Structure 1
């Protein structure tokens, strides 16, 4: 039994959910998201609540996944998503201008990254970056791409990390 798939999604009054073929569109105060949903999973919308059901018992994982995707879409158009990253290292800094992010993280050249459509990036300070948007997938993907430019290393702890990320430190070489 899919426990996540059986949970009910509460839809606020400011959000509309419409189905067009196999695509579901969610419109809210922050924007609009459209996503393909598998036809094996059906949903019923009644009185501001959405329930999911599956056609057979082989689709348990898909049942929970589709329900979680729609719940993320509803939360995104109401509140949005935000990931914050921190640069740790001497001389490491970030600047954002429009949808372009420039990172100086110890390479011989600055790394310039362009945020995808629907995602905004801000450098709140020289070492803090905020990635915001309504799509949980796009925000997480772009934050992961920023982190991959210089992932944190375990010896000195230098690199780009999420603000709540713990980097396990290792002891260096010991001499005789």
Structure 2
């Protein structure tokens, strides 16, 4: 069985956790996030430490581990935030912000306008870099995955939108 739920979550300075019934609100310098906790999981906050406990059912133990991981991600998000960096590889591939939209040129016959959802900020420090930032880990990862999905990297030349730390396994071209 998983023992993730047994690990306590230490709250950094400036982060507070409020609990009312099944709603848990986490406030920090970067923002505020909410989490709905099921009845099978008991969350306690004492002396700057959050503890998660499950009732005796095996499914509830797994659920407690999930809730503990989500709470840990929320605490990290409101204190430090999450960042995903993307890189555009290819001739003529570029990105630029235009208001609340990300304008991408990825080798198609038309430019792509991507609407940025609330709670996420997108920056383009250079025309071939896109940086996605936010407090909610799931939202940041989903926005980065949506941008990458417009032109995933291909294995022959490595062209496309890739994560900054992603390694593209290259294939050899067909021989005559």
TM-score range, shorter chain: over 0.9
Q: 1:10·1:49 contact (CA, 8 Å) conserved in 2?
A: yes
SS in 2 for 1:147: helix
Correspondence for 2:43: 43
Correspondence for 2:53: 53
SS in 2 for 1:33: strand
CA distance in 2, matches of 1:60, 1:120: 35
| Gap regions ≥5 residues in structure 1 | none
Does 1:114 find its partner at 2:115? yes
Give the root-mean-square deviation of aligned CA atoms: 1.0
- Cα offset for 1:131? 0.3
- Cα offset for 1:61? 2.0
Correspondence for 1:123: 124
Correspondence for 2:145: 144
Q: Between Structure 1 and Structure 2, how many residues are aligned?
A: 175
Q: Which moved more, 1:83-92 or 1:36-45?
A: 36-45
SS in 1 for 2:88: strand
CA distance in 2, matches of 1:124, 1:6: 41
- Cα offset for 1:123? 0.7
Q: 1:9·1:71 contact (CA, 8 Å) conserved in 2?
A: yes
TM-score (norm. length: structure 1): 0.96
SS in 2 for 1:125: coil
4+ runs of 1 displaced by more than 3 Å? none
